[in-house]
Amino acid sequence: MKIVRFIGELTKFGMYPRADALQCFKQLLLNFAHHYIEMTCHLLETCGRFLLHHPDSHQRTKVYLVNRKITFVHVLFGKPKVWFKIGPNDAKKIDAGIGLALHHDG
């Protein structure tokens, strides 16, 4: 957990490339179970908002979040602060999309 938080902080201060942080995020999403869920939440808490709002990484971050939105709903009920670290307005948009997806599926 500490390593992921450290990577997030380094990314915010420009000492770790955004592309590498996004690659870490992608790898965590590909192995999205148990310990990796917790690590993903920590990465988003530390640098999620930065990655989402930076012009160079916005699109890729948004794609990763939207592709995993249903999984995040189930996981983040225990970690709701991650949504607000990303940004309340973005969380509302993603939540609205999730509601539509869940309504459509079920």
pTM, 2 dp? 0.67
Residue type, 10: L
Q: Which tens digits make up the pLDDT trace of 45-68?
A: 889 889 988 999 989 988 888 777
pLDDT of residue 79: 56
Q: Are 47 and 18 in contact (CB under 8 A)?
A: no
Q: Which of 17-21, 68-72, 93-97 shows the lowest mean pLDDT across its residues?
A: 93-97
Share of the chain above pLDDT 70, in %: 64
d(CA 20, CA 28): 12
Matching residue, tokens 């009920």? 77
Band the pLDDT of 40: cuts 50, 70, 90: confident
- Domain extents for the chain? 2-105
The pLDDT score that the predictor gives to residue 86 is 57
What is the 3-state secondary structure of 9-76?
A: HHHHCCCCCHHHHHHHHHHHHHCCCCHHHHHHHHHHHHHHHHHHHCCCCHHHHHHHHHHCHHHHHHHH
